[in-house]
């Protein structure tokens, strides 16, 4: 049972050898150390899943092996939960995506296409949410906002029980901060992720992102995000 207001990093590429994130167990351990040092209590491990590269079962087998290799080194904190960052694919609503969900729940982290979203894309996501009852989290939504029409599509999707994830990084640079701030002001359910890939150029950075949010919006805003993330993990969202 997860209690409220844990600090959760909902998006990371820390599992060794799975994707363009951590390349080996040593890197993963260092990333986890950095994350724990920043106060992260639960680290969600969301390796990229690309349906055009492999079957879901093959991905899950690789993920099991990678996770076991990491656990053999007994990382102490944070608590680890496996998931995936699932790249959107047409008619994905007809696939069995349950093995790609976070932990044993129904939360699915989806990476939307880097383009203007069509109505059929929105329909697929709606179907997953309403008919298949997945709890959809859209990964780093700030990256899609400059494509024409996507702001409106995000607004349309917000009538569903969908959560928008923002990368901590977005708050740290002038170029991306405006849109990240705008997303928070919109009142959408939002959670944070580091989307960490390594220990250098894309390192665990939740604390920096949280620091900016607390200064700009106050600790209540962080509490709300933490509550949303905890609710997702508990299947209560
Ligand atoms: Fe990612």
CATH number, domain with residue 211? 3.20.20.140
The number of distinct structural domains making up the chain is: 1
Burial of 137 (0-12, 13-18, 19+ CB in 10 A): buried
User: How much distance in Å is there from the Cα of 85 to the middle of ligand 1?
Assistant: 6
Beta bridge partners of 192: 166
Q: What residues are neighbours of ligand 1 (ion), with CB under 5 Å? A: 85, 195
User: How much distance in Å is there from the Cα of 190 to the middle of ligand 1?
Assistant: 16
User: How much distance in Å is there from the Cα of 159 to the middle of ligand 1?
Assistant: 25
The residue behind tokens 């250098």 is 200
Name the strands in the sheet holding 163-167, side by side, starting at the edge strand that comes first in the sequence: 48-49, 85-87, 107-111, 135-138, 163-167, 190-193
In this prediction, residue 74 carries a pLDDT of 85
Question: What are 236's two structure tokens?
Answer: 């209560």
User: How much distance in Å is there from the Cα of 194 to the middle of ligand 1?
Assistant: 8
User: How much distance in Å is there from the Cα of 155 to the middle of ligand 1?
Assistant: 22
In a domain, 2, yes or no: no
Name the strands in the sheet holding 79-82, side by side, starting at the edge strand that comes first in the sequence: 8-9, 42-45, 79-82
Residues spanned by the domain of 145: 8-234
In a domain, 208, yes or no: yes
In this prediction, residue 148 carries a pLDDT of 96
In a domain, 150, yes or no: yes
163-167 and 190-193 beta bridge pairing? parallel
Q: pLDDT 10s per residue in the chain (237 long)?
A: 545 579 999 999 999 999 999 999 999 999 999 999 999 999 999 999 999 999 999 999 999 999 999 999 988 889 999 999 999 999 898 899 999 999 999 999 999 999 999 999 999 999 999 999 999 999 999 999 999 999 999 999 999 999 999 999 999 999 899 999 999 999 999 999 999 999 999 999 999 999 999 999 999 999 999 999 999 999 888
> Which helix H or strand E contains 126, and what residues bound it?
helix 119-130
In a domain, 1, yes or no: no
In a domain, 187, yes or no: yes
In this prediction, residue 94 carries a pLDDT of 87
In the DSSP assignment, the letter for residue 114 is S
Backbone angles phi, psi at 42, to 5 degrees: -130, 125
User: How much distance in Å is there from the Cα of 88 to the middle of ligand 1?
Assistant: 13
In a domain, 74, yes or no: yes
In a domain, 44, yes or no: yes
**Residue closest to 194 by CA, chosen among 40, 79, 5, 18:** 40
């Amino acid at each position: 049972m997860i209690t409220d207001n844990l600090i959760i990093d909902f998006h990371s590429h820390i599992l060794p050898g799975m994707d363009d994130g951590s390349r080996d167990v040593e890197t993963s351990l260092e990333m986890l150390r950095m994350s724990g040092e920043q106060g992260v209590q639960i680290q969600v491990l969301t390796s990229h899943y690309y349906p055009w590269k492999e079957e879901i079962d093959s991905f899950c087998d690789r993920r099991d092996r990678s996770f076991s290799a990491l656990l053999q080194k007994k990382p102490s904190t944070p608590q680890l939960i496996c998931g995936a960052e699932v790249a959107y694919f047409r008619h994905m609503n007809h696939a069995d995506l349950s093995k790609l969900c976070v932990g044993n729940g129904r939360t699915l982290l989806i990476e939307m296409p880097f383009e203007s979203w069509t109505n059929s894309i929105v329909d697929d996501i709606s179907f997953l949410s309403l008919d298949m009852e997945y709890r959809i989290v859209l990964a780093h939504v700030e990256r899609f906002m400059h494509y024409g029409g996507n702001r409106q599509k995000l607004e349309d999707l917000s009538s569903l029980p969908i959560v928008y994830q923002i990368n901590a990084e977005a708050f740290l640079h002038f170029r991306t901060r405006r849109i990240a701030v705008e997303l928070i002001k919109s009142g959408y359910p939002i959670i944070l992720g580091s989307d960490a890939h390594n220990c250098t150029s894309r390192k665990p950075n939740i604390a920096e992102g949280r620091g900016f949010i607390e200064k700009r919006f106050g600790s209540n805003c962080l509490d709300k995000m933490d509550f949303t993330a905890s609710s997702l993990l508990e299947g209560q969202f």
